[in-house]
Structure 1
Amino acid sequence: MSQSPAFRPIPLLAEARAEPLPGPRLQKLRRAALQAREQFTQQGPVAAVATCDLITFPYPALFAFSGAALSPAPYVMMTNRMQVVQFVDGLGARRTLLFNPSDYERGQAAPFYRSLRERYGAFVSDKVMSTRHGTVQSHLASLGLTPADVDYIAFDHLHIQDLRGWLGGDGVPPYFPRARLLVQRAEWEMVKDLHPMQAVWFVPGGADVPAERVVLLDGDTWLGQGAAILSTPGHTRGNMSLAVATSRDVFIVSENGVSTESYTPLLSAIPGVRRFAEHMGWEVVLNGNTREDSLEQYSSMVVEKLFAGPSSVEPTFVNFHPSSLLTASMLAPGLSPTIVLPAPNFGDVRPSEATRRAA
């Protein structure tokens, strides 16, 4: 395991996180997020980004808005999405990152979704409660990319992920011959020895991949022009967010919230959410399926909110794009998003130079 020499740390947020008390730490993070955003945008825009829908799936309504949403439906519907990001790194090379390339077929082995499938059966699970929009493989082909074009893969956290199909391991050949996993050291150490309250969300053995395919990150990391990974702990200990700058704006991707209104709950039209936020005095509402560190998750969402800034399309909402997006469905009455921002797409994704020469 080794750090790519083309990456570099973003020190401002780490310095703020060193504050031991949670209240003062949040105030320091507010200031640091704005300063880090300004430095980030000065580097220029990313080369290209494409957003690809993978699968719409059920998720407990109790978790989506930390119990705030009022609906008889037990589940919200969410659409898992992958971002294909191309950036020029510190060595001048154009790199391709897949952020949240979920292998959702293998992900069904996570105990939570395995038991859900056993409860409802294959037909209801696959034909009624889920909608497949495309696979990682099919989306890459439609963008003109081959597996050899991918330099890195990363996930905001490792819930429901089985990495072996992409990186190899446990007798499975790797689909991506060159790609390395970018993961926070805290997440990687955690997934190797899970607490029983964590294990329900993780695929058994899903992280058993060759060590040389893993790049451990220690906090906020500048990947290249217009692309960064922010450490946003709380949802899991090693949770992280993708930050991307285009020529128009900055956006953030993670699963700390299930919609942009998670960051502006007073604007939410979902029954119960605004009243809950007003009663609690909260400026964000957590995606709360885990309680490893809710104070940290709240602070991380404030960082995301300030780093992203307002949407250029709907300035009253934050330019946050969930990795799993709250999706309107007849199966979830009263749980439709107040607004859905246009999916992030920018520039032209293209194959690597080596692939084009080979063609």
Structure 2
Amino acid sequence: MSPEAGTTRARKRRLDPLVGTARNHLRAALELLPGAPVPAAEPPLLLVACSGGPDSLALAAVTAYFGRPRRDGTRAFRVGAVVVDHGLQPGSAAVAGRTRAQLEQLGLDPVQLRRVSVQAAGMGPEAAARTARYAALEAAAAELGAAAVLLGHTLDDQAEQVLLGLGRGSGTRSLAGMPARRGLFLRPFLELRRTDTEQLCRIEGLAPWHDPTNTDPAYLRSRVRTRVLPFLEEELGPGVARALWRSARILRADADYLDSLASAEYARLRSASAEGIELDRAGLAGLPDAMRHRVIALAAAEMGGENPSYERLLAAEALLRRQGSAGPVQLAGKVSVYRRVRTQRVPQDARGYGNLVFRTTGQPADH
């Protein structure tokens, strides 16, 4: 055996276990992608959403491996990236430029840099930045014909998300955290810790940017990250973050199952009316609480509303008892719901009395 061959084999044996683990997580995430209906002329494109931070930069380095030519000269994927500059901090353009240079050195192509304008009207700065960022990522994916956009969220991000949901008093869907896949978006690193992505950057010789807002106590998520989770780990013992991540996985499976049942019930109880959408009173009243709340939320969503709070769901549900006001009850997103009473026109068989009617706010009820 030649010295060169021996050196090559030794180099292959020295693959860092963490790199191998990260590649396996990404490989499993890519299996969530639907297969192409017809063979493509070129390999599908993966876009990494990269801020320059340790999580997304490590993800870019790991994803680059899947864009390398195989022994037969073909490639399973093309790998590119999108760097979104929110323009919210001094020097953000320089950070975006350095990030783009590192991505190109990793072999990613194309690498797009998109500058966005963050409009915070009606929402907090974090939500406004998130909205602008996802819009830019979706636009880039559509323009480039990407098969998926990869996001660098980690197990720690998931734990923080669950704690934020608990603090808001949210339901099962919110406590289920971030999904591994939603539409074009994949999160391959949800089982890796933030310390893992920092180590991956060191292994790859990358220089990540550390966003100062991640430790700024002015932001709720930053306080959860720097104060709440460390306190829980200290008081309850190590493993709290992983336990929260595990709870999110369990709750996601439960939420998916309940949502599928609710969709079937909604289709059974829903009918169109002149005002908007109508739900059958008797059928709705006969559902378990968890199912009834989901069906009401589905009606609000179809009318263009937001997910109602628990308090608003209870108020809408109370209309079914025929006690007190028949409404309307205001739901989030300019949607209201009222109970049809006997002074209103209903079909000749009178089965519509007591039904819940959902309409857009400002549309007059049919009294």
Q: Do they superpose with TM above 0.5? A: no
Larger helix fraction of residues:
2
Q: Which has the higher relative contact order, 1 or 2, with Cα contacts under 8 A spaced 6 or more apart? A: 1
TM bracket (short chain): under 0.3
TM-score, structure 2 as length reference:
0.27
TM-score, structure 1 as length reference:
0.28
Larger strand fraction of residues:
1
Q: Which is higher, the Rg of structure 1 or of structure 2?
A: 2
